[in-house]
């Protein structure tokens, strides 16, 4: 009886593995068309100045509706796109559409010339030889200035193996006026000394620290603010879900806030533009 059960389990696990494999293959295949078949979309989440709560930027968050599978989270499909190399075309698609959001802002809002748009990038994009050139080419043929683009990178860019290529890309972009923000700060393997070596403008404190209310998480935020100040960096907090968190973060000296309490990512940004009034 136990033996029978054991066999059942083996069948169950191998079945599950092959389901995962099948899904992975299906998604990889589907991703090759994603940038050209209308299945990608961007949602935009507002980022506001902590003190005035005025709108300073939107973060572009990618959404994908795979025709044969349905909605797939970026947490699932971005790693696959990185493995298959589709991330390059998808990344360019994100950049072009993010730029369009700014270009299409109603002129009467006065936001076209100073609102920033943040895009997420993966290290795979950054180590591609002409990544910086491609980004600058898109901006050159657009109506937005380089200082309106923010490139968010994660602590994975500190990986020793790719340090030189990544630094070359980021330095070129930064020198051209593009802002570089370190996303999910505190979750990766950053050595604080890297903050000194990389051309950064801001750090985004990971939402796990914002959501936790224990003394230690607060100490991490407090410490990050102190270090950021010394390094001349701004601090952005992500994942702000309550008024209490917002108040706390303001007290701690965080510069900018993002989260469901401010606004959830949405395709239509019209209702966010009033945040500037
Ligand atoms: P991220 O860059 O750290 O983006 C923030 C994530 O937190 C988003 O999830 C957002 O919807 C979610 N979020 C924002 N405010 C709150 C809040 O108050 N509470 C909670 N619980 N969540 C909040 P999303 O859109 O599922 O994106 C997940 C991750 O996928 C992103 O994390 C980013 O690493 C990656 N990603 C998204 N779009 C792109 C892209 O265009 N390119 C690349 N390379 N990665 C992307
Ligand atoms: Mg991000
Ligand atoms: Mg983030
Ligand atoms: Mg995050």
CB of residue 62 inside a 6 A radius of ligand 1 = yes
> Which of 85, 120, 205, 210 to probe ligand 1 with, by most ligand atoms within 8 A of CB?
120
Give me ligand 4 centre to Cα 229, in Å.
22
Strand residue runs (E) in the chain = 40-49, 55-66, 70-72, 116-120, 149-153, 179-185, 202-205, 234-237, 256-258
Instruction: State residue 162's pLDDT score.
Output: 93
Instruction: State residue 194's pLDDT score.
Output: 86
Give me ligand 3 centre to Cα 188, in Å.
12
Give pLDDT tens digits for 21-36.
Answer: 899 999 999 999 999 9
Position in ligand 1 atom list of the atom nearest CA 121 = 44
Give me ligand 3 centre to Cα 205, in Å.
8
Protein residue whose Cα sits closest to atom 35 of ligand 1 = 74
Question: In terms of DSSP bridges, do strands 202-205 and 256-258 run parallel, antiparallel, or are they unpaired?
Answer: unpaired
Protein residue whose Cα sits closest to atom 11 of ligand 1 = 265
Three-class secondary structure of residue 97 per DSSP: helix
Strand partners, 153: 182
Give pLDDT tens digits for 227-239.
Answer: 999 999 999 999 9
Instruction: State residue 220's pLDDT score.
Output: 92
Give pLDDT tens digits for 34-80.
Answer: 999 999 999 999 999 999 999 999 999 999 999 989 999 999 999 99
Give pLDDT tens digits for 152-161.
Answer: 999 998 888 9
How many residues in the chain?
Answer: 277
Give me ligand 2 centre to Cα 66, in Å.
22
CB of residue 165 inside a 6 A radius of ligand 1 = no
Is the ipTM reported for this complex over the cut 0.90? yes
Give me ligand 3 centre to Cα 18, in Å.
32
């Amino acid at each position: 009886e136990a033996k029978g059960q054991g066999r059942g389990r083996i069948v169950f696990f191998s079945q599950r593995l092959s389901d995962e494999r099948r899904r992975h293959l299906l998604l990889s295949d589907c991703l090759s068309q994603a940038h050209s078949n209308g299945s990608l979309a961007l949602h935009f989440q507002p980022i506001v100045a902590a003190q005035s709560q005025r709108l300073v930027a939107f973060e572009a968050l990618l959404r994908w509706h795979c025709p044969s599978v349905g909605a797939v989270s970026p947490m699932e499909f971005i790693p696959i796109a990185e493995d298959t190399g589709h991330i390059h075309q998808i990344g360019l698609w994100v950049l072009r559409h993010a730029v369009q959001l700014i270009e299409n802002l109603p002129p009467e809002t006065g936001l076209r010339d100073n609102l920033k748009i943040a895009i997420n990038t993966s290290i795979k994009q950054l180590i591609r030889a002409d990544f910086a050139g491609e980004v600058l080419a898109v901006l050159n043929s657009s109506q937005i200035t380089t200082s309106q683009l923010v490139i968010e990178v994660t602590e994975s860019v500190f990986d020793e193996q790719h340090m030189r290529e990544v630094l070359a890309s980021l330095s070129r972009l930064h020198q051209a006026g593009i802002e570089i923000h370190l996303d999910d700060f505190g979750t990766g393997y950053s050595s604080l000394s890297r903050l000194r070596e990389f051309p950064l403008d801001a750090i985004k404190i990971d939402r796990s620290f914002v959501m936790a209310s224990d003394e230690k998480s607060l100490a991490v935020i407090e410490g990050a603010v102190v270090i950021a100040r010394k390094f001349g960096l701004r601090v952005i907090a992500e994942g702000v879900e309550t008024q209490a968190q917002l108040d706390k973060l303001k007290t701690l000296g965080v510069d900018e806030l993002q989260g469901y309490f401010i606004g959830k990512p949405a395709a239509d940004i019209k209702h966010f533009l009033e945040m500037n009034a």
